[in-house]
Chain A
Amino acid sequence: MKEILSLDHVSFSYEAEDGGTRRAVDDVSFTVNDGEWIAIVGHNGSGKSTLAKLMIGLLFPEEGKVKVFLEELNVDNLWEIRSDIGIVFQNPDNQFVGSTVQDDVAFALENNGIPFEEMVPRVHESLAQVNMEGFLDHEPHHLSGGQKQRVAIAGALAMRPKLLILDEATSMLDPQGRDEVIQVVDELKQTTGLTVISITHDLEEVLLADKVVVMNSGKMMLTGKPEEIFAHGDELESIGLDLPFAARLSRSLRQAGIAIQGEHMTEEELVNELWTSHFSK
């Protein structure tokens, strides 16, 4: 497997208002390989958004190394590396630069000097990938939050990135918008093998990931597959994360003395477990 991004003992501090410093990221190391979906979870102030900024060179680490596409990120290769990374931020309105959907999707292409003849097919193609091809001339204030975020994803895809970072991209959306966005990203990953890093505090989103990194006050607390992570239910709740409904119910059942096997991530798994649980006895 090819390495896409790696953090090697990375630390970063912000200057606090009292003149001192506050560690936002403390000795974090992990690797993301080609085609993986990594979820970084943590409560507000856990340092997860600082991690995103370190990954695209908006901030540089105090200690340790950030390597993207096997190159260490520095001021000279910054722009070149950024052109291969797509990032979608939290607020749908504040990242919509163009005055219409197609202008916004073309924005990164214009910045990178892609010729006009190539821009047009790329804009259409990336909008089709997020199911927004019918909205070419729509203005941002006529779109829902979920639609705007899908346009933002299309804007990132137009550059044909190797890595897509979602920095809390679904946290300001209603449940429907959130589902639309998650579904689009999941489809993209299935069809194109895109590498995805999603930074979130929503544990439902984590279920789709191959690997999870749990952050708490700047440190990596846990890392592993989603089922391994959810086995630490109490620890997750102690740092202010909500378990998915199925996992919560499964835990409560066990606490109530009902013998059920294994961990249950989705409602379907749990239902299957429950209706077959008495067959063996």
Chain B
Amino acid sequence: MIESIDIGLVNWSRAQFGLTAMYHWLFVPLTLGLAFIMAIMETIYVKTGDEHWKKVTRFWMKLFGINFAIGVATGLILEFEFGTNWSNYSWFVGDIFGAPLAVEGIMAFFLESTFVAVMFFGWNKVSKKFHLASTWLVAVGASLSALWILVANAWMQNPVGMRFNPDTARNEMVDFWAVLFSPTAINKFLHTVTSGYVLAAVFVIGISAWFMLKNREMLFAKRSMLIASIFGLVMGAFLILTGDESAREVARVQPMKFAAMEGLYEGRRNAPLVAIGLFARPQDPDHPKQQEFLFKIEIPNMLSYMAFLDPNAFVPGIRDLVQGNEKHNIMSYSEKIERGKIAIQTLKDYKQAVSEKNTEKAALLAAQFDDADFIDNYFRYFGYGFYDDPIALVPGVPVSFYSFHVMVILGVHFMILFALVLFLLFRNTLHTKRWILWVALFTIPLVYIASMAGWMLAEFGRQPWVIQDLMPTIAAVSRIDKSAVQITFWLFVVLFTALLIAEIKIMATQIRKGPKTEGGN
């Protein structure tokens, strides 16, 4: 069924979407978190009347403004790329996926864009309280924007609240609340926004550390670090909690992704968690043939516990999922492929019956798509029917494994940094610990790497699915010329990179100029 699809087109389309998404995500998390940090700072200013806090707020607001516009710009492309590059997907899921996007526009984007203007330009035009309210509304609006797009993304990872309509050949929403409040959506939203909050906290601490290293704007730096480290610690705790929940959710609804992110080929009880590991040689094209670790450090029973809150639980490995495991009631991919083909053929037969005006046959076939037995045993494997080779259904193991581990290890590093900075601030010795200040500064790129790694795990780990088990990425692509996508891909590479360079240069210049506060040293 996939022979007619140009894999080159699929790969270029994926590359373009991935490029846009990654550039977008370079800017968005800082917007998410910095907005709240600014709002907290401005609240202190309004409460205390201390003009220094106003200058602190305005400095971070200036950086926020530089970062904000480019995040908006890349977001626009991302939204429309669902149509331009993934038109089949747009139809197949538009009934569900489109709704959160529309709600996002109406509820969140307008809130954010309206009050961001007041926040930037209203200092001398509106009252202090109105301005403060605007800053908070920008922060809330930014996170609300994230809510809806993440609900949509979560639905792709765990499609719920819908039924398949054979007449329109698409999934249709039947339960909005199931889509909005699915555990995957809740975890994804909380985990993603808190990761943005942590990123912003690291950013503020790192930049403030630079001022301390330069022995400039010490009061500004200390105050910024104080807010950021407390904010970072609290949000970091949420990040860990939601990350833990997310892992359990992945183990439940995307067991292949879970196995890939731990490099687990053979399922087992009392499965250990590989805390640190290095594959002996690159993965692919042999998978799921087991790849040996060059070395690894394991935590006994931890993977079983992480997945099912039970150290004795069985965690299926890649091989169990591909070949099946009768003992643990796991169906093989070959069987799923067969069932998926039956579901696809049923749909084709239905369409044929309709076109032949064979109403009796059409009614019988249509009824199957409402039959719980057919849905549970056949339709749920619809997407598998696009494939013949079970091996094609295994995601890239190394990319999943490394992105997961990089994210987690760096996350621990951020928490230690927040705690250490806060502790030394209270002891008033932070400015004397230059090595910590350097670490804080160099943690800025690390937090971006961690943030990207999270998305890489989420998106590479679920391949080959664009919608888990229902629609493979290869079937979602727009039928356009590969060369057209290649041209726009390189156009975006040049454009986004130029804008990124511009942003970094402008931001660096503004940072060097500093807030020009009178807090002195």
| A, B bound | no
Q: Which residues of A contact B (CB under 8 A)?
A: none
Q: Which residues of B contact A (CB under 8 A)?
A: none
